[in-house]
Structure 1
Amino acid sequence: MITRALYSLLTYAAQPWVRRKLARRAQVEPLYGQWIEERFGHYADAVDLASWPAGGASGAPVVWLHAVSLGETRAAAVLLARLREALPGMRLVLTHGTATGREAGKALLQPGDVQVWQPWDTPAAVGHFLARFRPDVGLLMETEVWPNLVAGCAQRGVPLCLVNARMSDKTYQESLRLRWLAGPAYRGLHAVWAQSEADAQRLSSLGATVQGVLGNFKFDATPDAALLAQGRAWRAGAGRPVLMFASSREGEEQMLLDVLKEKWPLAPAEYARAAPETIANQSGQRTGLPFQLLVVPRHPQRFAEVAQLFADAGYTVARRSQWGEAPETADVWVGDSLGEMALYFGMAHVALLGGSFAPLGGQNLIEAAACGVPVFMGPHLFNFTEASTLAAKAGAALRCEDIAHAVAEAAATAGDTARLQGMQDAALGLGAAHRGAAEKTATEVAAVLTRTRR
C-alpha cells in the first residue's frame, strides 16, 4: 500500500508534464488536443447518464475494453465481433491512449457505445472513470497493466482481465526490477489469457492468474477484401517487383538508404549525367533500384519527415495522400494514410519488418501473412517472439542478421517466382493454422460475467 501511495504521488505530480506532452503531440496529430480532460477523469460530454445502463445483475452488460494504440485496436475488432455474438445487447466503453488507436476505434462503435481516452493512472482519475461508466467487466488488451487501474477495479468489484496477453523478456526483466509495484498489479488481475506458453510463464511468475493459453487474436483478422484487391491491381501495374518497408521506425529508413546507396550506387540525382540508355528501362521507368520501393512509416507524425528523407537523398517520392486513381510514377512510394495496411500489403510482393532492424522489438507480421506477403525480419524481435518464430518455422518469414541481408534476400525472392510463390502460400497458411483465439476469449469473458453478475 505504501509503495502504491508513492507511485500515486508521482502520477499526480506528472500531470502537468502529461498536459505539455499532449500539447506537443497535438501540433502534429490534432486528436491529442481534443477531449484532454477525459484523461483526468472528467467526461462532461461523453455520455448521457440518463440513458446509460446501471450495470449489475440486471440488463445487458457494460463491457469496458482498453486498446491503447492502433495495433491493439485492430486486434480488438475481432474480439468485439465475437463478444457481441456472445453478449447480445452489450454496451461498450472503448478507451485508448493514442490518437491512431482512437481514430481506428471509431469504426468499432455501435449506437449506445462510448469512446473516451484512457484515464491517467491516478486514484482520482481512475475512480471518476469507473464511477461514471460502471463497467461489469474490464478487458485490457495485450500489455496495458496499470497499478491504480487494477486497484480501483478491485475496490469496486469490477473483474479486470488481461486478454491476448503478451510479455516480452525485456518487459519481464523490467517488471522484476519493479516487482514492488508490478507484483501487486499483476496479482490484482481477475484473469489472464495469454498468447503463448512463454507469455503465460512470465505472467504467472509475476503473480498473474493465468487461466489459459488461447493464441493471438490477430490470426483471426481478415484483411479488407476491397483494399487488398485494389492493392494487387496496382501491384500488377507497377511493372517490377514491389518491396515494402512495413511499419518502419525512426532511424530505420536511413539504414535502408545506406544499403541502397552501397548496393545500387547510381542515385536518381545522377541520372541527368548518365548515358541516355541508362536512364529508363523498357517500361519507361527510371533504372537504379531493381524494385519499386514502398515505405509505410509506423507513426503518422513521421510521414512528412520520411518523404523528405528520401527526397533529400535524390529519389523521386510520391505520397499516397497525393495519388489520384493510381500511384504516381516515382522511385519511392510513401504510404501516408491510416487504415489502409491491407492496400499496402496488397501492393507488395515482399516486405521488410519495421522495428526489427533498430533495437525496438519489431512489429506484428500477422497482417502481412494474412495478405500473403513474405516478411524479411531483422534481429530485434523481442516484442513479437511467438509470431515471428511461428512465421519463420512455417516458411512465411526469414530472420536476417541486418537490413542489408534482409534487402538482399527480399530482392532475390521477389525475382524468384518459385521461391516467392512458396513463401506466399506459407504466409496464407499461417493464419489458417492459428485461428480461434478471439472466439475462445469471448466465451471465457461471458463465463466471467455469468459468475460475477449473479
Structure 2
Amino acid sequence: MRNVAFDLFYTLVAAVFYAVAFPLLLLFSFKKKYRDSIPARFFGIKNPPFQPHDIWFHVCSLGEAKAIAPIVEKLGNKKIAISVITHTGYEAASKYVAQVRYLPYEIWLWFWIERPKTVVVLEAEFWYLLFRLAHTRGARVVALNARISDRSFPKYYRMRWFYRILLSQCDRVFCQSAEDMARFIALGAANVEVVGNIKLSQKIEATKHYEKPTGTVIVAASTHEGEEEGILRGFIAYREHNPSARLLVVPRHPERFAKVGELIEKSVPQMSVERWSQSQSLESDIVLIDAMGELNNLYAISDVAILGGAFAPIGGHNPLEPATFGCKIITGEQMFLQRELFKYVSHVQFTSLEGIADALKNAETMPPSQINGSVDLQKVLNYLTENENGKTKSV
C-alpha cells in the first residue's frame, strides 16, 4: 500500500513537471533534432505500445543501442523489443529485427506498458515508473551494464531512500565493475554481480574503405561545443612541427555541422578546408566530416584520434572504437562516464585542450593503442533465457 501511495505521488510530481515544460516541448518539437522523439515521447504520436514480445531492451542513445548487438544476435528467434530516448538511438536500434519505439514520458507509461516478460535496462536509465510498472505487471527487470560514475555517486547517495525503492523493483543487476557493485549495494540493490562492460563484446569494424591520405592523419572524434577551438589551436601549433599533418573533424551532433564548418574556415584561413558532404575527399589540410556513421571508417585510416567529450564535463566517449583500429588516443581528463572502458585500453594520453600540441608530438613515439580485456556474456544470456515467462504479479 505504501508503494502505491508513492507511485501516485511520483506520478503527480511528474505530471506537474510535464505541465510546466509543455510550452517548451511544443517549441522544441519543431527542431530537426527532436522532430521525431519529442512528439513520440511526450505526445504519443506514432508511438503505440509494443506488440507481444519476449525481451524488451531499453537503451538511451546510439552507444547503448550498438552495445546490445552481440546479445541480440545470440538470442536467436526471441521476439525483441527496443525502446530508446534519442533519434540516433532509434536509427541504430532500427537495424535490428525488433520492434522499436521511443520510451514515453513516465506519466504515459501507466497506459503504455502492458504485460512484458523481461525488461533489460541499460547503464544508468533509472526511470522509476519504468522499473515499477514493468515489475508489478509481471516482468523480470534487469539492469545491464549498470554503472554509477564517481561524479554521480554522491548525488545518488543523498537520494538513497529513492533509489532503494527503485532498485527494489529490479530482479538482477549486472554491473560493469566492483566499484559499481559496491555503489549499487550501498543504494540498497540486491542480486548484484559484476560481468564487466558489455561494450567489450561489440563487433567493431569499418563499413567502407577509404584510401589513407599522405602524412599524419588526425581525427578529432565526437567533439562538443567549445572543444573544436582548442583542438584547432593545438593542430595549428603541431603543424609547425609536422607540416604534412591533416585533421578530420567529426562533431558529435549533426545540428552543429554548419557552425563548426564556419569556425574552421574562420580559424585557419591559411589552410585548405573542405566539407565531406561537398567533396567526398580527405586530401585537404582540414576536412569537416558533416555526415553520420563514418567514424569507424575514419579511425581505420587515422594515425591519431583526439577523442572529444572529455575536455569539458561531459563524461567522454567510447575509446574501444579508435583502439580497435590502432589509433593513438588523446583525450581529456573528464571521461568519468567511460572510466571503466579506459581501464581496458593501453597507451592513452589524457590532457587539457592547451596540451594537445604537445600530446600530438608525444604520439609520434608512442605505440598504437590497443584493447586488453574481454567480457563473458554467457551469464547474462543464461539469465535472460531462463524462466522466460516472467513473473505473475499484480499492481
Superposed pair shares fold, TM > 0.5: yes
Q: How much does 1:35 deviate?
A: 6.7
Indicate yes or no: 2:61 matched with 1:69: yes
Write the letter of the residue equivalent to 1:408.
D
Q: 3-state SS of the aligned residue for 2:139?
A: coil
Kept in 1: contact 2:148–2:183 (CA 8 A): yes
Write the letter of the residue equivalent to 1:213.
V
Indicate yes or no: 2:386 matched with 1:447: yes
Within 5 Å, which residues of 2 pair with 1:220-235? 220-227=201-208, 230-231=209-210, 234-235=211-212
Q: 3-state SS of the aligned residue for 2:24?
A: helix
Write the letter of the residue equivalent to 1:75.
A
Residue of structure 2 equivalent to 1:130:
113
Within 5 Å, which residues of 2 pair with 1:401-420? 402-413=352-363, 415-416=364-365, 419=366
Kept in 1: contact 2:231–2:356 (CA 8 A): no
Sort the Cα spacing of 1:289 and 1:199 in 2 relative to 1 into closer, same or farther, 3 A: farther
The Cα offsets for residues 110-165 of structure 1, whole Å up to 9 and x where unpaired, read as: 2xx3211112112xx1122212xx32110111110111111112221211111111
Higher Cα radius of gyration: 1
How many Å separate the matches in 2 of 1:218 and 1:242?
26
Please, which of 300, 316, 320 is the counterpart of residue 254 of structure 2?
A: 300
C-alpha root-mean-square deviation of aligned residues, in Å? 2.7
Write the letter of the residue equivalent to 1:334.
L
Q: Which of the pair is proportionally richer in helix? A: 1
Please, which of 376, 397, 407 is the counterpart of residue 348 of structure 2?
A: 397
The Cα offsets for residues 25-46 of structure 1, whole Å up to 9 and x where unpaired, read as: 64232xx323755424847674
Sort the Cα spacing of 1:369 and 1:328 in 2 relative to 1 into closer, same or farther, 3 A: closer
Residue of structure 1 equivalent to 2:321:
367
Sort the Cα spacing of 1:260 and 1:18 in 2 relative to 1 into closer, same or farther, 3 A: farther
How many Å separate the matches in 1 of 2:344 and 2:242?
35
Please, which of 221, 224, 227 is the counterpart of residue 249 of structure 1?
A: 224
How many Å separate the matches in 1 of 2:101 and 2:60?
11
Indicate yes or no: 2:99 matched with 1:114: yes
Write the letter of the residue equivalent to 1:63.
I
How many Å separate the matches in 1 of 2:39 and 2:225?
30
Indicate yes or no: 2:80 matched with 1:92: yes
Kept in 1: contact 2:328–2:347 (CA 8 A): yes
- More moved, 65-74 vs 203-212: 203-212
Residue of structure 2 equivalent to 1:318:
274
Sort the Cα spacing of 1:226 and 1:33 in 2 relative to 1 into closer, same or farther, 3 A: closer
Q: 3-state SS of the aligned residue for 1:240?
A: coil
Indicate yes or no: 2:91 matched with 1:103: yes
Residue of structure 1 equivalent to 2:176:
195
Q: How much does 1:295 deviate?
A: 1.4
How many Å separate the matches in 2 of 1:382 and 1:412?
24
Sort the Cα spacing of 1:188 and 1:333 in 2 relative to 1 into closer, same or farther, 3 A: same
Write the letter of the residue equivalent to 1:219.
L
Indicate yes or no: 2:374 matched with 1:434: yes
For these two proteins, the number of residue pairs brought into alignment is 387
How many Å separate the matches in 2 of 1:262 and 1:396?
23
Q: How much does 1:197 deviate?
A: 0.9
Sort the Cα spacing of 1:252 and 1:3 in 2 relative to 1 into closer, same or farther, 3 A: farther
How many Å separate the matches in 1 of 2:282 and 2:349?
31
Q: 3-state SS of the aligned residue for 2:67?
A: helix
Kept in 2: contact 1:3–1:180 (CA 8 A): no
Sort the Cα spacing of 1:317 and 1:174 in 2 relative to 1 into closer, same or farther, 3 A: farther
Kept in 2: contact 1:67–1:96 (CA 8 A): yes
The Cα offsets for residues 382-409 of structure 1, whole Å up to 9 and x where unpaired, read as: 1111111332xxx332233x13334422
Kept in 2: contact 1:352–1:407 (CA 8 A): no
How many Å separate the matches in 2 of 1:203 and 1:312?
48
Write the letter of the residue equivalent to 2:87.
A
Kept in 2: contact 1:188–1:208 (CA 8 A): no
Sort the Cα spacing of 1:411 and 1:3 in 2 relative to 1 into closer, same or farther, 3 A: farther
How many Å separate the matches in 2 of 1:62 and 1:359?
38
Kept in 2: contact 1:217–1:435 (CA 8 A): yes
Sort the Cα spacing of 1:189 and 1:220 in 2 relative to 1 into closer, same or farther, 3 A: same
Sort the Cα spacing of 1:105 and 1:403 in 2 relative to 1 into closer, same or farther, 3 A: same
Residue of structure 2 equivalent to 1:284:
none
Residue of structure 2 equivalent to 1:379:
333
Indicate yes or no: 2:15 matched with 1:27: no
Sort the Cα spacing of 1:372 and 1:263 in 2 relative to 1 into closer, same or farther, 3 A: closer
The Cα offsets for residues 18-74 of structure 1, whole Å up to 9 and x where unpaired, read as: 673474264232xx3237554248476747x8xx43xxxxxxx52111111011111
Residue of structure 1 equivalent to 2:301:
347
Residue of structure 2 equivalent to 1:291:
245
Write the letter of the residue equivalent to 1:76.
I
Q: How much does 1:360 deviate?
A: 1.9
Indicate yes or no: 2:156 matched with 1:156: no
Q: How much does 1:92 deviate?
A: 1.6
Q: 3-state SS of the aligned residue for 1:115?
A: strand
TM-score (norm 2): 0.88
Q: How much does 1:247 deviate?
A: 1.1
Write the letter of the residue equivalent to 1:102.
Y
Sort the Cα spacing of 1:37 and 1:301 in 2 relative to 1 into closer, same or farther, 3 A: closer
Residue of structure 1 equivalent to 2:11:
8
Sort the Cα spacing of 1:378 and 1:159 in 2 relative to 1 into closer, same or farther, 3 A: same
Write the letter of the residue equivalent to 1:28.
K
How many Å separate the matches in 1 of 2:245 and 2:228?
16
Residue of structure 2 equivalent to 1:79:
71
How many Å separate the matches in 1 of 2:103 and 2:289?
28
Kept in 2: contact 1:295–1:332 (CA 8 A): yes
Kept in 1: contact 2:218–2:302 (CA 8 A): yes
